[in-house]
Structure 1
Amino acid sequence: MKAQPDLKLLATFLAVVQHGSMAEAATALGYVPSAVSQHIAALERDLGIELLVRRPGSRLILTAAGRSLAQAARTLFEATARFRDTADGIANREIAELRVGAYPSAVSHLLPGVLTALQAGDRGAARIRLVIVETHEGLPRVTSGDLDLLIAYRYLPEDPPVTSPEWEITSLGHEPLVLVAGPQPGHRPLDLAACLERGWTSGHPHNPDRRLLRRWAGELGISPDVTLETEDLHSMLAMIRAGLAVGLIPVTLLAEETGRPTVQRVALPPESTPLHREVLAVSRPGLRPPVIDELLALLAEALKAVPA
């Protein structure tokens, strides 16, 4: 028995099974009847077993081995057809699943609307497997192939991700950063000078947001006292709402502040540089599936809609 089945012989065999005679199978395949008979005989020799009972004047009868082979051959050709469809889709940059990593606040405040719009579009068939991951943790996972796409942020131009042969980087827009504090009695405005008497919240000393805070404070000649260090923006915001700290928060996290606000913006000096963090898409170099481009276009539109 051959290690690999001869697909041409199997196709002829299935045609004979379907039509019930070698003559009809030959007509359907465009062969002469003797060629069909030769294919069946060759297949039986390869397998070392009789597949068809040939009786003059009657339709062909499948043996038990023939019935088993017909079932297996149908399964094989169905799988082959699915494989070809998948291969054609891959050639057209269509995919069944996309692994996307994103930082936590993007998952909670940007991606829900974007993914809803993507699923409603013409190319919503791709399944999105979402992984919450900070930028510095996600970059090596893009390089390794564990993630197909990373939604990342960059507080300072020299921060990673930077230009590299390992990545394709697309800038999607910016998230403005605003200095906020807990609501004041009587809704009194709060200025920067009053904030310097309070504790601040920011990332750990080597975190990008903390380095941005130090650079910004240095330009203004101030020295904020950071009493809460955390990478979790939602924890920062909780402490600010409780009146226990002030801090720079991406404005996207404040988008749901409707009705009675739970934080208030701090009035900054006119010479203060507007702050933001850049939102980036990181993928491996090469052609990207169309669903990635559509996802990134929707994200860019969402960022344009973020109020300053």
Structure 2
Amino acid sequence: MHMDPHLLRTFVAVTRCGSFSRAADELGYTQSAVSQHIAALESDLGTALLHRRPVAPTPEGQRLLEHAGPILVRLDAARAEITKMVEAPPDRLVVGLSPLAFMPDIVAANHVRVLPRADVVTGVAQGTLDLGLVDGVATASDPLNLPDVAPLATVGVAERPLVVVFPADHPLARRKRINLVDLSDAQWIDAPESAIPLAQLRSASGTDGFRAALRYEGTHVPGLLEMAAAGHGLALLPQHMVDGVPAVPITRLVHRVELLSMPGRSGVR
């Protein structure tokens, strides 16, 4: 079996767009060419991958979709790495940061992009970013659990305490320290761009708790702190970002920042 990456890209586009014609417009193909790509892929695998009306993946197609994303990212990563080996160094150093990963003394960047954590990892792998700084929750001295999209070089550059922000009248606000899992049934603010995302809290604690009482789609941390202090929900942040509101340190877990790069390329001072 030979799986053509061009056919895979077409398949991913059709499933994302939910339409052969919209996928054709996105890819710059004719609709007939898109249909031929899907038919060739189904013939190669010996099974139907898409329902046609409406357009949606079959169970086999859904399974292929789970594999296709990482496969295509790795192909892009390989192309980017080889290209950078033969090209002259760029005049511009592009660094991607996840929302809580700002480290001004780590890289000599002249172009900075703040992106979702997964996009920083993919951007470094695909070569759209020269370096990445990505953050997350980890046990002290343990590496972050990052998507396996390419053989990236990772260096831990910071580990800081994590604190939970409480309203002043909350019964736990005067605790010296607290275990994260003890707060799994509490009400939280879902603020993925200005606090530790709730999905990371579930992963770190091994529970399916940490339900959101409020969704905050913003990057203004002082505003988030005011909402937490007013009782709209709890929030978990690095200690250095919390000032003037009641906060209790978390046991065992830290906020970790890692520098990502393709092997052989570095912007670390």
* TM-score between the two structures when normalised by the length of structure 1: 0.44
Question: TM-score w.r.t. structure 2 length?
Answer: 0.49
Structure with the bigger percentage of helix: 1
Largest Rg, 1 or 2: 1
